[in-house]
Amino acid sequence: MNITFYHSISKIKSVVDAVTLAILQGELAQGENLPSINELSNEYKISRDTVFKAYKELKQKGLIDSNPMKGYFVRGEVNRILLLLDNYSAFKQNLYRRFVENLPENYKVDLIFHQYNRHFFETVVRESLGLYSMYVVMNFSNDEFSDALKSIPQGKLLLLDFGNFNKNGYAYLCQNFDQSFYDCLVSGKEKFVKYKKFVFVFPEELCHPVSSVEYFMKFCAENNLECLIIRKNEDWTGVEKDTVYLTILHEDLVKVIKSGDEREFKIAEDYGVVVYNEDPILEVIKNGIASISIDFGLMGEKAATFVRTQQLVQEYLPTHLILRNSV
């Protein structure tokens, strides 16, 4: 085991990273003793408190353990997984839960959200290199494969969700925001054509693939529906009769429903609403809100299978229209 210290990284993290890397690369085997706190402190001229805090963190991660007779030692084989998702939501929580449930106990998952912050995304990837046995990542963009990910060995990386780019043999579990989205609209045609107008509430700052707009407009044109895309808040004038609304953000769903209530419109009669991405709460709001979504729990299960077996998977998960009483 070799520990290198850098000015930009705390000494505690340097020790944690060095021990983790040695375990993952098999340099420290199951049951093997680690240097004592005094030994490591003397060898690397660092404080005993630094070593103690590093060992404490490694114990919390499940990588090492200790007892009075043996001191600090490597626990059973541990596979450390980085799960790097875009942002928090109920359906991402479902993905995470099903992912963890389908992994053995000796797999430890670190969950991080990059929040579409490019610098943070690249920093997390760079600083995680060599510290994880597998990487499960929601890429930064739907249209561009992040250069930062090229530093991860191809067989250790699984791409999630976004994927309209050349994946060059990488494993992936993605959703199709174009043709599959259009197919969902077609499957609900009977419900949607009851209305005169179809409005897609699609905020400019949202990182949802803008290519969906083209397929939305195609559906409207084919079915003689007046079509409107709302990108800015100032373009919002409130709910109109004989109009069906498609929202991506739950904030916009709330805005649509509140506006309808204020105007004393009845949902599914005076106006309709459907939301992108399924969420359990949609089953109970206004007696049921329709959604267009993949099964994120299934994505979590399939991701866990890849991590366990390391067998290449390249799949676009099916997108479904879940019809409820809101259209």
Q: Contact at 8 Å (CB) between 18 and 58?
A: no
Q: Rounded to the nearest 10 degrees, what angle do helices 211-222 and 179-187 cross at?
A: 30
CA distances, 178 to each of 170, 172, 183, 252 (Å): 21, 17, 9, 21
Q: What is the pLDDT of residue 105?
A: 80
- Of 291, 276, 278, 277, which is closest to residue 325 (Cα–Cα)? 291
The topology under which CATH files domain 80-176+296-318 is Rossmann fold (3.40.50)
Rg (CA), the chain: 25
In this predicted structure, what is the pLDDT of residue 1?
75
Q: One fold for both 80-176+296-318 and 179-293?
A: yes
Distance (Å, rounded) from C-alpha 185 to C-alpha 121?
33
In sequence order, the 6+-apart residues with CB closer than 8 A to the CB of 284 are none
11-74, CATH topology level: Arc Repressor Mutant, subunit A (1.10.10)
- Pairing status of strand 64-67 against strand 71-74: antiparallel
Q: Residue 41's pLDDT is what?
A: 95
How do the pLDDT tens digits run along the chain, 327 residues long?
789 898 888 999 999 989 988 887 788 888 899 999 999 999 999 999 999 999 999 998 888 999 988 899 998 667 889 999 999 988 999 999 999 999 988 788 999 999 999 999 999 999 898 889 899 999 988 888 999 999 999 999 999 999 888 888 899 999 999 999 999 999 999 999 999 999 999 999 999 999 999 999 999 999 999 999 999 989 999 999 999 999 999 999 999 999 999 999 999 999 999 999 999 999 999 999 999 999 999 999 999 999 999 999 999 999 999 999 999
Domain boundaries, the chain: 11-74, 80-176+296-318, 179-293
Type and span of the H or E element at 259: helix 250-262
pLDDT value of residue 294: 97
Fold type of domain 179-293:
Rossmann fold (3.40.50)
Q: How far apart are CA 96 and CA 74, in angstroms?
A: 27
- Sign of the C-alpha dihedral, residues 50, 56, 57, 59? positive
